[in-house]
Amino acid sequence: MPIIPEITVTQMREVDRLMVESFHIHLLQMMENAGRLLARVARERFRPKSVVILAGKGNNGGGGLVAARYLRNFGVEVQIMLSEEALRPVPAMHLKAAEVIGIPVARQLSSKPDLVIDALLGYNGTGATRGKTAELIEQANALGVPILCLDVPSGFDASAGRWYSPAFKNATVLTLGLPKTNMLGNPEIKTLLVGDIGIPQKVYQYIGLKVPTLFAEQDTIEA
């Protein structure tokens, strides 16, 4: 098994910029790849019959909204809960797509699901969560069901390596591309999976990061 390098939040922002501006792999594509992978991990790891997806306004939330569509196609009962009403343009497109196929957007949990997916903040999360985001984390933690986090657990500041309260600790995490700093070996992460969303190795070369071939045999690996 090749050694998996970490990537800083600053480097990951540059990777995302290069993907769009230099490699012509656009946000809509990356979000679709992330959401489809997230849905497949949810199905294969947890076999849920019902899922609640907590979605933020940004790219991380968009990945969760894409996963909602795929999970519905898998025959899973899906419910979406938003931390904010106003989404950024691309996540808003995915929300409309989910609504068109009849996935409900709820204001409160109507029943206890088999799995909660955290797609609230992603790698840009810093400091303590507040407002509706904090409320959703607290409500989900109180359910006592498995949590699957997309990219970075909400409540964890990857740059600082610090957990804030409330947070999704002891969850399964599907991080995208590479683990963000302070995630590998973190005792508060139950299982860390690294997922392939189609980032070319040449992108990493542009930022001076040497990354071995990680996904030759499968599109998720356990770190």
Q: Is residue 1 part of a domain?
A: no
In a domain? residue 4: no
Answer yes or no: is 206 within a domain: yes
The Cα 109–Cα 140 span in angstroms is: 9
Whether 3 is covered by a domain: the verdict is: no
Q: For residue 141, give the CATH number of its domain.
A: 3.40.50.10260
**Full residue range of the structural domain in which residue 44 is found:** 9-222
Rounded CA separation 76/133 (Å)? 24
Please tell me the predicted confidence (pLDDT) of residue 2.
79
Would you report the helix, strand and coil content of the chain in percent, each value rounded to 5? 35, 20, 45
Q: Is there a domain that residue 113 lies in?
A: yes
78-87 tens-digit pLDDT: 999 999 989 9
Q: Is the residue at 209 inside a domain?
A: yes
Q: What is the pLDDT of residues 169-198, one digit of tens each?
A: 999 999 999 999 999 999 999 999 999 999
Asked if residue 109 has pLDDT above 90, the reply is no
Residue 35: its pLDDT value, please? 98
Quick: pLDDT tens for 112-169: 999 999 999 999 888 899 999 999 999 999 999 999 999 999 999 999 999 999 999 9
The number of distinct structural domains making up the chain is: 1
For residue 54, is it within any domain? Answer: yes
